[in-house]
Structure 1
Amino acid sequence: MSARTKARKRALNVLFSADVRGDELAVALQAEAGRAASEPERQASWLYARDIVDGVIDHADEIDEQIESHSRDWRLERMPAVDRALLRMATWELLFNEEVPAAVAIDEAVELAKELSTEESGSFVHGVLARIARSS
């Protein structure tokens, strides 16, 4: 598993846990930074995970607007929390990280959705992200 794939999983954990617990994302990120400091062997994955979460924090309104406008009548509150977190993470990569090809951001999110969410989540996440990628 690549360092970026590990980083995406780490970022997903932060985004998901903050959402489910109702915590501020910045607070959840700070707590994860404390854990990361005690795990130097995972430093490579932490750096990109932090970039993702910081990016989602910095562009939260625009990211959520893109997701809602491309999700075909699905409001964010109705989506499973895992899907919401995956969509936020991948939308940041699509719109704000020029280093990641759109196909990679979409594929990674779809694979995580298939692994961690509902049976329909993979195709749902793929559809929303593909529409966002086409519109940007």
Structure 2
Amino acid sequence: MSARTKARKRALDMLYAADLREVPVERVLADEAERAAGEPERQASWLYAREIVDGVIDHRAEIDELITSHSRGWTLERMPAIDRAVLRIAVWEIVHNDEVPDGVAISEAVEAVTVLSTDDSAGFVNGLLSAVAGDRS
């Protein structure tokens, strides 16, 4: 597993935990930063995970608007929490991180929901993210 894939998983864990526990993402990020300080072997994944989470925090309104405007018949609140977190990460990568090709962001997101979410999530996430990426072209 690549360092970026590990970082996405780490960012996903933080966003998902904050959502489920109904606490600010910043608090979960601070807790994870303390933990990361004691794990120098995981430094590479921590740096990108933090960049992702900071990016989602900084652009949350825009990201959520893009998700909402491209979802058909689904509000953010109705989506599984894991799907919301995966979508927020992937939309941030598509819109705000030029180092990650759109196809990679989409593929990683689809893989995550295939493993972690409902049977219908992969198609939903793929379609929504493809629409977001298509709008940027």
Question: What range describes the TM-score normalised by the shorter chain of this pair?
Answer: over 0.9
Q: Distance in 1 between matches of 2:80 and 2:15?
A: 13
**Is 1:32 equivalent to 2:32 in the alignment?**
yes
**Is 1:102 equivalent to 2:98 in the alignment?**
no
2:52 aligned residue: 52
Q: Distance in 1 between matches of 2:109 and 2:10?
A: 13
Q: Distance in 1 between matches of 2:113 and 2:36?
A: 24
1:123 aligned residue: 123
Q: Distance in 2 between matches of 1:47 and 1:73?
A: 36
User: How many angstroms does 1:73 deviate by?
Assistant: 2.3
For 1:66, the aligned partner's letter is L
Instruction: Give ranges in structure 1 of 5+ residues lacking alignment.
Output: none
**Is 1:5 equivalent to 2:2 in the alignment?**
no
**Is 1:79 equivalent to 2:79 in the alignment?**
yes
Q: Distance in 2 between matches of 1:117 and 1:64?
A: 19
Instruction: Report SS of the residue matched to 2:91.
Output: helix
Q: Distance in 1 between matches of 2:25 and 2:31?
A: 10
Instruction: Report SS of the residue matched to 2:114.
Output: helix
Q: Deviations over 1:67-110 (max 9, x none)?
A: 00001121000000000000000000000000000000000000
- Off by >2 Å, runs of 4+ in structure 1: none
Q: Deviations over 1:3-50 (max 9, x none)?
A: 000000000000000001001011111111111111111000000000
Instruction: Report SS of the residue matched to 2:98.
Output: coil
Q: Give the share of equivalent positions with the same residue, in percent.
A: 63
Instruction: Give ranges in structure 2 of 5+ residues lacking alignment.
Output: none
Q: Distance in 1 between matches of 2:29 and 2:86?
A: 16
Q: Distance in 2 between matches of 1:120 and 1:36?
A: 34
Q: Distance in 2 between matches of 1:12 and 1:21?
A: 14
1:64 aligned residue: 64
- Aligned CA RMSD, in angstroms, stands at 0.5
Q: Distance in 2 between matches of 1:126 and 1:11?
A: 19
After TM superposition, list the pairs within 5 Å mapping 1:8-27 onto structure 2: 8-27=8-27
> Aligned residues, how many?
136
